Amino acid sequence: MALSQRTCNNGHQYYKSSDCPNCPVCEAERKPENGFLSLLAAPARRALENEGIRTIHQLAERRESEILKLHGMGKASLPKLHSALKEHGLRFQPEPNSKK
């Protein structure tokens, strides 16, 4: 796919080769400075935010398998999420057939 120049609603001009409609400048501006969401790449962060997961406690209410199914969430994000949960004495909910 060829690069195409685009302009977002905020007037930022950027080039993209994918169908992704998100402006990289806007994404960089809205990236949190701290907290577990700041550890993630934009697609993973958006995946959690779109599910209403904005706090570490909201994350701990979910199963790892649920999080991994979200569009934009990849296996590379899981170690970061596990570490953030552990730092707060939390973890994902157990899987239905798990013995934990």
The whole-number pLDDT of residue 85 equals 98
The whole-number pLDDT of residue 68 equals 95
Determine phi and psi for 73, rounding to 5 degrees: -95, 125
Contacts 24+ apart (CB under 8 A), 59-62: 59/84, 59/85, 59/90, 59/92, 60/85, 60/88, 60/90, 60/91, 60/92, 60/93, 61/93, 62/92, 62/93
Spatial contact of 92 and 62, defined as CB atoms under 8 Å apart: yes
What are the average pLDDT values for consecutive 10-residue runs of the chain, which has 100 residues?
Answer: 86 85 81 89 92 97 96 92 97 82
Instruction: Show the domains of the chain with their CATH numbers.
Output: 1-30 (no CATH), 33-94 (1.10.150.20)
